[in-house]
Structure formats: C-alpha cells, structure tokens
Amino acid sequence: MELAGKKILLGVSGGIAVYKSCELLRLLQKKGAEVRVCMTDAATEFVAPLTFASLSKCPVYLKNGAVEARPFQHIDFPRWADLYLVVPATANVIGKFACGIADDPVSLCFMSCTCPRVIAPAMNVAMYNSPAVKRNLEILRGFEDTTVLESPAGELACGEVGQGRLMEPAEIVAYLETRDERRETRDNEGESLPLASAAGASSATPSPVLSNAEASGGHPRNAPEPPAFPVAQDMDPTRDPTLPGHGKKVLLTAGRTEEAIDPVRYISNRSSGKTAVALASVFYANGFEVEVIAGPMEAAFPGGVAVSRVQSAREMHDAVMSRLESVDAVVHCAAVADYRPAHAADSKIKDSRSQLTIELVPNPNILRDCIAARKANASSAAGDARRQVIVGFALETDNFKQHAAEKLEKSGADALLLNAPVASDSGFGHNCVRYALVRPHAGIPEMHMGSKVDLAQEIVHFVLNELG
C-alpha cells in the first residue's frame, strides 16, 4: 500500500502501549498519510487526547462528546478512512469487536467501518494466552478485510516475559507498505508450481522429492506471510548501538536446494523458507547485520537483509564457507538435499515408460564442514579467535529425541533446533511448527507447538547469550 495520500483512522484503546501510538501516528504522517484518531476512555488515562489532536491536527473522537464532536462521528470517521488501524488493541476491545459490542468510539468505528481493518494486540502474556482472547482473535481473523498482526514475545511492561507485546510502530508501517503486494501474492497462489512426486532422504530438513518443473498443480503450503519483524524503510537497526546485536554479524542459510536431473527436472523438497525469514527478521530487528545464502523459496525477506541466491547444495556450501570467518554466528536453516544425481543429463530425459534408475552421490555436509573450519580457525589463531556460535536444524518425523541427540553429538554444533512438521496445520509452509532447542549436555527437552516467530526469538536469544 502506498501510504502517501491515504486517510487512516487510528483507534487507540487503553494500555501502557498507548504511547507507541503517538510514534506510529508520526511515522504514518512522514509517509504522507493523513491520520485521525478515536480513543476509548481508558486510553485517555495513559495519553491525553490533546496530544493526539495536536499531532493529527484534528479533533479526537471521544465518548464524552468533546466540544468539537459531531453527532455522527461514529459513522463519519470510518467512512472518511481508507484504512482503520487499531493500535493498541486490548483484550477488552478485541472482545467487543468479536462479539459485536459497540459502546465506545473505537468499537463503534469498528462496527460501522467498511474499509480494511488492521488490529495490533497488546496485553499481558496471561491474558494473551487465555482461551477467551485466543477465541476472539480467531473470530476476528475470519472477518472480511480484517487483519490481526503478530504479537511478538519479549519483556512486557509488567516485567514478565512472553507473548503480548505490541508490534513496534516501524514494523506496523512496514507491514502496511507491503500489504497490497502480499494480497496480490495470495490471489495468485493458484499458479502452477513444481509438483512433488517421489521420495529420498535429507538430514537437516525435509526429505528430497522428485519434482517436474513442467508439471502443474498447487503447492501444499499456505500463502506467503509478511516478515515477522519488518522494519520501516527509513530505519536501520544495525546503526542503533542500544540494540543487543549491534556490531555483530549473522549468516543464515535459507530455502531449499535443487539438484538437477536434466534441464527441467530436479531433486528438491517442500521447504517454503518461512522459518528463515522469521530468523532474518528477528536478528535484523535486534541490530545484527544479516546475510542470507538462499536457495529457491517462496517467502520474501525484509529490507535491510543481504541475500545471495544459490541453486544447489554445492553452491550453498561454497558460499557459506567463503563467508564463515567474517561472521559471529551461523544458523543452518536451509533444507539441503543430502544427495544429488551422479550425472545430470544435458537434455530432457524422454518418457519411454520404462523403468528409470538415477544414481545418487552424497552432497557435502555444510554444518559439519563449518564446525571443522571453526576448529581449524581457532587453532591457527592461537587463542585469539573470537567466539563464533553455530546452530543447526534437525527435522525428524519419528524417534525425535534419539535422532536429535545423535545429530547434535556428530555435528558438534552449539545447539540444534529440533522440529517435527507432522502435526496438522504446522510445518512446511505454515506459520507454526512443533519444535525444541537442544543444547549439549542439557538433555532433550519436550517439543512444543509455537509460531516460527517464537522459534526465531528463542534462537536469537540463545545466540546473544552465547556471544555474551
């Protein structure tokens, strides 16, 4: 969405995060948007309406009927707007939206609004995880032209840690700027993509499948989602010395690899790249300089992240090894094929309806080669080498703990993200996955279901702790 010239109604409900709505209003104005504000009574206890009136240069719609109020503001304000943005949205006002209750300016405007609506929840983690709030948010996600933004985990105003934080104003602006582009992507989801048709074996991520680039049919994954922590185009977290990742660089592998059988067919897997996008976004939002070596994938990275594209496992291996000495951390998130055809045909293999045998040879193990190179670099530096953190991924479908423990020991990684994309509505292409972060000498924790944003935050937190 091009924000310049857009009319945005900002609904503000009561909570400590109200002060961020002032920052959001200013960012929207810098992008050229015209903003008006409506507030609940509770919101006025945190920030005076005069503040929003001064910033927006327009009277604020209040329940008590200010002098400037008109009798039909609850219709006029939303009818004027191109977009209704509710920031922050408390548990109380979310409940009103879901149940059709309209007894304050914010809920009245929601009820009479005919333009698209975007809601940014903010509340204590216990409230956010309550059955009532979860149900109400799910109801709102089903409303036409209504988007519920991600509520990231972190330290809350009350001192507790968990999900329920308000998405940062810069992140909200960045989401709005790419909103129409993502909608167009979803509308085009039915376009034909390579069709999975046969199986193989893969270590870190999904099992390879034989794909035919000429085949038609839908891909078994959700439409691409916005980055977990996008950052406004005019902001650069890597320049903020107050962020914990300032001055540090992380290298990520992302997407899947494709191993050519002939010019039109290849061995690949079902990775969409969504987990890598979440990781890149969270690292970047924490001040890290982020570089990604990405194989083919559907998900898009946020601005500010450097992306180098590769196709095969050997190309990814070479790209990672050439950059290894310059980074503080490496996270191996890509779905790298364990094997490749021993010989790729120069022309398309014709369909003779006879049995086809493909000889496979192993690909290099990028994770283990990184560990070996780190050891060699540390030895040659005679104790002066800086600390480098390496995290691997292990996708398993059975005997989770046993396989994770074996892979962690063989690889020598500092941690291993065990994930199991076997539950319904999770894993490949979805926004949630069953996972656990496994550390050496700490036992194998039980896996739990969480968003890929939660997964990314846990890895970033681990890396920051390891780097000190």
Q: Where in the sequence numbering do the catalytic residues fall? A: 158
**Residue 364 to residue 314: CA distance in whole angstroms:** 7
Contacts of 285 (CB under 8 A, 6+ apart): 168, 171, 229, 231, 237
The secondary structure of residue 373, as a DSSP letter, is H
Q: What are phi and psi of 383, to 5 degrees?
A: 90, -5
Contact 193, 156 (CB under 8 A): no
As a whole number, mean pLDDT of residues 127-135 equals 90
67: pLDDT strictly greater than 50: no
Contacts of 351 (CB under 8 A, 6+ apart): none
As a whole number, mean pLDDT of residues 100-120 equals 92
Mean pLDDT check: name the lowest of 17-26, 105-114, 316-325, 423-432.
423-432
pLDDT more than 90, % of the chain: 41
Average pLDDT over the chain reads 80
The secondary structure of residue 388, as a DSSP letter, is -
As a whole number, mean pLDDT of residues 331-355 equals 88
203: pLDDT strictly greater than 70: no
The pLDDT of residue 433: 81
Nearest to 336 by CA among 319, 351, 324: 319
The pLDDT of residue 73: 57
The pLDDT of residue 396: 78
pLDDT more than 70, % of the chain: 79
182: pLDDT strictly greater than 60: no
Mean pLDDT check: name the lowest of 26-35, 177-186, 210-219, 304-313.
210-219
Contacts of 439 (CB under 8 A, 6+ apart): 414, 415, 462
316: pLDDT strictly greater than 80: yes
Domains and CATH numbers, the chain: 7-177 (3.40.50.1950), 192-343+354-467 (3.40.50.10300)
The pLDDT of residue 155: 66
The pLDDT of residue 204: 35
As a whole number, mean pLDDT of residues 12-19 equals 90
| Residue 433 vs residue 201, higher pLDDT | 433
As a whole number, mean pLDDT of residues 43-68 equals 80
The pLDDT of residue 230: 43
Of the pLDDT bands very low, low, confident and very high (cuts 50, 70, 90), residue 357 is confident
Highest mean pLDDT: which range of 275-279, 331-335, 395-399: 331-335
| Residue 119 vs residue 400, higher pLDDT | 119
Mean pLDDT check: name the lowest of 77-91, 208-222, 276-290.
208-222
End-to-end CA distance of the chain: 40
The pLDDT of residue 229: 43
